[in-house]
A and B are shown apart, each in its own frame.
Chain A
Amino acid sequence: MSGGDPAGRLVRPFTLTGGRTRPSRADFTLITTVTAVDPQPETLTRPQPEHTRILRQCAEPVAVAELAARLDLPVSVVVILLCDLLEAGRITVRPPCPVTRTTPDLNLLQKVRDGLGRL
C-alpha cells in the first residue's frame, strides 16, 4: 500500500491539513456519520479542493472510517478536514449510538440481534 516510499506517504497527507496533525474539535469518531449540507451555505471563500472531495463523498450520509477508506487518507487527516467543514457549516454530524455498560439500551441490542438473525 505504501509503495516505494513509506516515509513520503507518511508526510504527504498532512500537507492537506496545512501541517496540522491534531483536530480542532472532538466531534468525530470512526463511526460518526457525516452528511454534506444541501444546499451548501454561500460564503466568500470557496472550499479547498480536498474539502470539495470530501463534500462530494458525503452527499449521502457516510461514516468517518468509510470516508477515509474511500479517499485513501488516514482517518486522522480526514477528521482534521471535517472539523473545518463543520465549522464552516458545510456538513452535519450524527454521533454514534452512546454505549454504556451501566445503562445498556435493550431495545438497541434487540434490534441488532434481530438484524443479525436476518443475515
Chain B
Amino acid sequence: MALAGSDAPDTVKILIAGGFGVGKTTMVGSVSEIVPLRTEEPLTTAGLDVDDLDGIEQKRSTTVALDFGRITIADDLVLYLFGTPGQQRFWFMWNDLALGALGAVVLVDVRRPRSSFAAIDFFERRDIPFVVAANGFHGEHPYPVEDIREALALPEAVPVLLCDARERASCRDVLIALIDLLIAEAAPVGR
C-alpha cells in the first residue's frame, strides 16, 4: 500500500562536520542548489537526560539548529548535505545524523585545529569514512597538507585537502575526494 511513489527520487546524505565557525554552513551553501534550509529541534525530545542539561543555559539552548542543502545528482537521485551541530554536547544528534550517511567531511580551521578534534574522533570511533578539509580563511593556506595531517594525527588512509568553503568548485572537489575514498574502499582491486 504505502510503497514508494514511483516518481520519488532515491536519496543519500553526506555530513559536513567540524568545530564551531569552521565554515560548515558556508560549505553547504556553496554547493547546495537551494539556499541552505534549517530546522530547530527541541532538546527535550532528543533523548537527553535532565542531568545532561546541567551547565546549559536552558532558556537559550532549548533547541538545536540543523542546516542542510541539496544537490540533484540525477533525475532519480538526490544528495543531501547536513551540517552537524558544532558543539560537542549535541553529539546525541550526530548519531542519528550519521546513520545511513555515505560518509563525512570534517572541516578544519588550521588556526585552531582543536575545534575539530571531536568530529575526527567521532567518525574514527564509528568507522565512518571521512576526509579532512582545511578551510583557508581569507583564501590562505599557511600550512602544507603534511603538517595538518601530523597536527591532527591522521593516518595516511584519511585524505587531507585544502579548500575554500566559499568556492563551489573547491567544495565540489572535497565531496568528490570523499566519494573517491568510498569507491577505493569498495573496489575489490587495490585492497
Q: Which of A2, A7, A94, A104 has the most CB of B within 10 A?
A: A94
A71 → chain B closest CB, angstroms: 9
| A interface residue numbers (CB < 8 A to B) | 1-2, 6-7, 9-10, 13-14, 21-22, 29-33, 35, 61, 63, 65-66, 68-70, 73-76, 86, 89, 91-99, 101, 104-106, 108-117, 119
Cβ contacts under 8 Å, B72 to chain A: 115
Cβ contacts under 8 Å, B97 to chain A: 30
Q: Are B11 and A69 in contact (CB under 8 A)?
A: no
Q: Are A104 and B185 in contact (CB under 8 A)?
A: yes
Q: Are A97 and B11 in contact (CB under 8 A)?
A: yes
Q: Are B176 and A116 in contact (CB under 8 A)?
A: yes
Interface of B is mostly: mixed
Cβ contacts under 8 Å, B77 to chain A: 108, 111-112, 115
Q: Are B99 and A69 in contact (CB under 8 A)?
A: no
A88 → chain B closest CB, angstroms: 10
B35 → chain A closest CB, angstroms: 10
Q: What are 8 A-to-B residue pairs whose CB atoms are below 8 Å? A: A6-B63, A65-B66, A70-B37, A92-B8, A98-B100, A112-B79, A115-B79, A119-B172
**Cα distance A22–B78 in the bound complex, in angstroms:** 28
**Cα distance A63–B63 in the bound complex, in angstroms:** 21
Cβ contacts under 8 Å, B175 to chain A: 116
Q: Are B5 and A94 in contact (CB under 8 A)?
A: yes
B71 → chain A closest CB, angstroms: 7
Contact of B4 among A63, A75, A92 (CB under 8 A): A92
Q: Are A66 and B37 in contact (CB under 8 A)?
A: yes
